[in-house]
Amino acid sequence: MAALPSSPAPLIDRFNRRISYLRLSVTDRCDLRCTYCIPQGFKDFEEPEHWLTFDEIERVVGLFGQLGVARIRLTGGEPLLRKNLPDLAARLAALPGIEDLSLSTNATQLDRHAKALRKAGVGRLNISLDSLRRECVTHLSGRDSLASVMAGLDAAQAAGFSPIKLNMVVMKGENEQDIEPMAAFCFERGFLLRLIEAMPMGDTGRNAHYLSLDPIRERLAKRFNLQPQAIELGGGPARYWSTPDGRGQIGFITPISQHFCATCNRVRLSVDGTLYLCLGQEEKLELRPMLRGGASDEELIAALRDAIELKPERHEFLEQPKKIVRFMSMTGG
């Protein structure tokens, strides 16, 4: 892709937030049916002909890179279901301006792809795991998947990924009792645990038994003598606490109890080329028609700038919990 005549100004929205992070969905399909993400029996997936091609993805990411977006996260659905994903990762990692390429995965396919992903230039992994109990994982994910996830974790460490973050969505009455064992497991294995509040996206999210992380943070701080850390790991919204020796770290992601909208630096591109400006709002830009209609790079950049101006100040999950009807997998992680 040819560079533009001069270096464009970075993307800064009307609330003076610099957009430096793109979450890129490469598929809306998944081999699990986590209770807070995709409902059992759901079949309304995007048609493959509507998926952005690798060439289209590379073009869009290249333009974002010119606009100062340095962090790219591959998401889904389950991104490892997209055929030849390491090939795409290698193309994106080589683009000017892209400094950090990471991947979110449920790890069920990771043991087969970890080495290729690492070689392609993926530097970091976020792995979803909501419990260490087989029966709980089966209940929450709709499949007896714990063994395959553990194999994926082993393969990721063997391939040299660091850090490896384990994302645990905490739900009242589901996996509350699993938090301390998960923390101990992560400390022992050298993983970075991130606890996440469930968000009311679609019927699945609204039925996810929301639980505030505030009392859990206090509980874990006492149990493991955690201290707050002023560190950023990956440009995301987690607030981190650490053990006294620094070897164990837990991040808390609190989109409901303590939202972080004032510092939001990200946008999301769905598999069909829809750019969502906020996870909890409807503002969006349809890029696929422009890409397939002959739009120039200059026209695409102008559209991206106009879209960033629409980025809302904050979500309204508390005020309007039923506002967002699309499922998490449709938006892109």
pLDDT band at 235 (very low <50, low <70, confident <90, very high): low
The pLDDT mean for the chain works out to: 89
For the ranges 69-73, 146-150, 263-267, the lowest mean pLDDT is seen at 263-267
For the ranges 145-149, 175-179, 301-305, 312-316, the lowest mean pLDDT is seen at 312-316
pLDDT band at 44 (very low <50, low <70, confident <90, very high): confident
* pLDDT given at position 322: 56
Q: Is the pLDDT of residue 117 over 50?
A: yes
* pLDDT given at position 206: 45
* pLDDT given at position 328: 60
pLDDT in tens, 181-221: 999 999 999 999 999 998 765 455 445 578 899 999 999 99
Q: Is the pLDDT of residue 97 over 80?
A: yes
User: Across residues 86-97, what is the average pLDDT?
Assistant: 98
Dump the DSSP string for 71-128.
EEEEESS-GGGSTTHHHHHHHHHTSTT--EEEEEE-STTHHHHHHHHHHHT--EEEEE
Would you kindly state where each structural domain of the chain is located, as residue ranges?
21-331
Q: Give the C-alpha distances (Å, rounded to integers) separating 20 from 89, 93, 112, 312.
A: 18, 15, 31, 16
Dump the DSSP string for 245-303.
TSS-EEEEE-TTTT--GGG--EEEE-TTSEEES-TTS--EEE-HHHHTTT--HHHHHHH
Question: Which CATH number is associated with domain 21-331?
Answer: 3.20.20.70
User: Across residues 19-26, what is the average pLDDT?
Assistant: 97
Tell me the C-alpha distance between 251 and 233, whole Å. Answer: 9
Predicted model pTM:
0.90
Q: Is the pLDDT of residue 254 over 90?
A: no
* pLDDT given at position 325: 53
* pLDDT given at position 205: 44
Q: What is the dihedral of CA 139, 141, 146, 147, to 10 degrees?
A: 120
Q: Given the structure tokens 């996260």, which residue do they identify?
A: 73
pLDDT in tens, 275-331: 999 887 788 999 999 999 999 999 999 999 999 999 998 765 555 555 555 556 566
